[in-house]
Structure 1
Amino acid sequence: MFGIGELTLLLLVIVAVLAVKRLPDLMRSAGKAARILKSEKRALKEEDGRAAEAGGQPPSPRVIRGETAERDTP
């Protein structure tokens, strides 16, 4: 019958054939995600730059809604 090497090679060929159909879509979505991340990073830098120019003070910390935890004070 088949050994482990032959089964592994057969599995790799099957995965490669099936992945070829979806590869362009995967690359397209990865490119879109990278562009979105770049634009968000650029927007954050511009926002921080404008806040620093306007007030001369560092921007205030952002508030992110979520769980709150009490700090242990010594």
Structure 2
Amino acid sequence: MEPTFHQFSELFAQLGLASDEAGIRSFIGQHAPLPDDVELAEAPFWTPAQSALLRDELLDDADWAEVVDQLNLALRKPA
């Protein structure tokens, strides 16, 4: 079975966030930069369900891990 690679917009949709380009840019601009000592899933702007989804995707689902890593990197850069 081939691995599935998800797009950034799909992750935002999974998180219940605006998944169009403007919505993604706005979210990142509002929440970046995330301090280095804060794990992505533990950031204060996530709901408990969003935190759980991010944590689960990183630990359990290699299909989503790459795009979750991309989100992590995007939120570490200064807006």
The TM-score range, normalised by the shorter chain, is under 0.3
The structure number with the bigger radius of gyration is: 1
- TM superposition score normalised by structure 2: 0.25
Higher relative contact order (Cα pairs below 8 Å, separated by 6+ residues): 2
